[in-house]
Chain A
Amino acid sequence: MNQQNLPLYEVFVRSKRGLDHRHVGSLHAEDATQALEYARDVYLRRSEGVSIWVVRSSDITASQESDVEMFCDPMDDKPYRHATHFKLPKEVDNM
């Protein structure tokens, strides 16, 4: 079988105590059903999780590195966007 023809899938696993699915890696498979089965064999061999998501890598729209300033800068000139900017009343002790 020519692996070049098999689409790539990204695999997300939710661990036993985890609340969210985390990206664990990727694999090749014919379709989503097969990708789920292979995800079990490739990424869940030591009971790493209780739930799996797979998604076609080509269905992910990703930001570009060149856009990092636009998307990801911490916006340091807008301190009011951070919770620490606001002075808490004394009555609210630890928040």
Chain B
Amino acid sequence: MSSQRKALLDYCIALGDDSLTLGHRLSEWSSNGPFLEEDLALTNVALDFIGRARMFYAYAAEIEGKGRSEDDFAFLRDCREYRNFLINELPNGDFAFTMARQLLVDAYDMDFFGRLAGSSDPDLAAIAAKAVKESRYHLRRSEDWIIRLGDGTEESHRRTQDAFEQLWGYAAEMFDMSAQERQLADAGIAVDRGALEAGWASKVQAVLKQATLEVPADDWSIRGGREGIHTEHLGYLLAELQFLQRAYPGLQW
């Protein structure tokens, strides 16, 4: 496999991992949502992310050409092989934390998939074109909720502000480019994520301002997801996600 082909494989796996971990977290809200309508909305969004993971893994399997399936990527890799951003694996916390994370991720996804839709790789471009439509809706929801919560009651304001303080330093790694990814970006395949940061920051800051929330200070960051260095939470997430396939290998519906 050429180095560019290997880079493309790793790229698809990382993007699949981002979608699967966040989709799994959102699916944990199923039957636990604050009320029926929101419960359905959260699980719809979860399904969008899990659908993306399937598309990225299926494409990765095709690139790899070793007979692995999308399920093998999802269920048979351990923590250190997962390459998702850490922000996606953090536990849901309260509803404010869940929506604050969505705002940070959805604002990023809108720009990221918007640009990936122009990729010179037709499969990536097609997946991105579908994802950006979903993200437009996700972002509308998360913006709406953050404004309601931030500009809501004293308690909802406090919880939402706390959530952004806890999340802020996890956003930094979304804009770090590895040498391998740079190679793909130079070939017009990958997105230069570093170039997304300014637009992302102004978008998020505008929503926080409207929500009467403070923009947290940029004085800490935690990185490592793309290198497979994770928080303690990913292990528990994968234990639940992978249990059936680990206990009963090859089990089918």
Give A residues with C-beta under 8 Å from B: 1, 3, 6, 27-30, 33-34, 37-38, 40-42, 45
Neighbouring A residues of B140 by C-beta, 8 Å = 37
Q: Looking at the assembled complex, report how far the CB atom of B249 sits from the nearest CB atom of chain A, in whole angstroms.
A: 33
Partner of A37, one of B34, B35, B36, B41: B41
Interface of B is mostly: helix
Q: Looking at the assembled complex, report how far the CB atom of A12 sits from the nearest CB atom of chain B, in whole angstroms.
A: 17
Neighbouring B residues of A30 by C-beta, 8 Å = 148
Q: Looking at the assembled complex, report how far the CB atom of A26 sits from the nearest CB atom of chain B, in whole angstroms.
A: 10
Neighbouring B residues of A41 by C-beta, 8 Å = 37, 40-41, 44
- Cα A45 to Cα B40 in complex, Å, equals 10
- Cα A40 to Cα B41 in complex, Å, equals 9
- In the bound complex, do residue B144 and residue A6 qualify as a contact, i.e. CB atoms below 8 Å apart? no
- In the bound complex, do residue B37 and residue A29 qualify as a contact, i.e. CB atoms below 8 Å apart? yes
- Cα A38 to Cα B49 in complex, Å, equals 18
Partner of A28, one of B35, B141, B144: B35
Partner of B40, one of A6, A29, A33, A42: A42
Q: A41-B41, A42-B40 are in contact. Are A34 and B35 (CB under 8 A)?
A: no
Q: Looking at the assembled complex, report how far the CB atom of A47 sits from the nearest CB atom of chain B, in whole angstroms.
A: 13
Q: Looking at the assembled complex, report how far the CB atom of A5 sits from the nearest CB atom of chain B, in whole angstroms.
A: 10
- In the bound complex, do residue B148 and residue A38 qualify as a contact, i.e. CB atoms below 8 Å apart? no
- In the bound complex, do residue B41 and residue A38 qualify as a contact, i.e. CB atoms below 8 Å apart? yes
Q: Looking at the assembled complex, report how far the CB atom of B150 sits from the nearest CB atom of chain A, in whole angstroms.
A: 14
Closest to A34 in B: B144
- In the bound complex, do residue B141 and residue A1 qualify as a contact, i.e. CB atoms below 8 Å apart? no
Neighbouring B residues of A29 by C-beta, 8 Å = 37
Q: Looking at the assembled complex, report how far the CB atom of A54 sits from the nearest CB atom of chain B, in whole angstroms.
A: 12
- Cα A41 to Cα B42 in complex, Å, equals 9
- In the bound complex, do residue B37 and residue A45 qualify as a contact, i.e. CB atoms below 8 Å apart? no
Q: Looking at the assembled complex, report how far the CB atom of A50 sits from the nearest CB atom of chain B, in whole angstroms.
A: 15
Partner of B144, one of A3, A37, A40: A37
Partner of B44, one of A1, A27, A45: A45
8 contacting pairs across A/B (C-beta < 8 A): A1-B34, A1-B35, A28-B35, A33-B144, A37-B140, A38-B37, A38-B38, A45-B44
- Cα A66 to Cα B37 in complex, Å, equals 34
Q: Looking at the assembled complex, report how far the CB atom of A93 sits from the nearest CB atom of chain B, in whole angstroms.
A: 52
Neighbouring A residues of B37 by C-beta, 8 Å = 27-29, 38, 41-42
Neighbouring A residues of B38 by C-beta, 8 Å = 38
Closest to A45 in B: B44
Q: A29-B37, A38-B40 are in contact. List 10 more A-B contacts (CB 8 A).
A: A1-B35, A3-B36, A28-B35, A34-B144, A37-B140, A38-B41, A40-B137, A41-B40, A42-B40, A45-B44
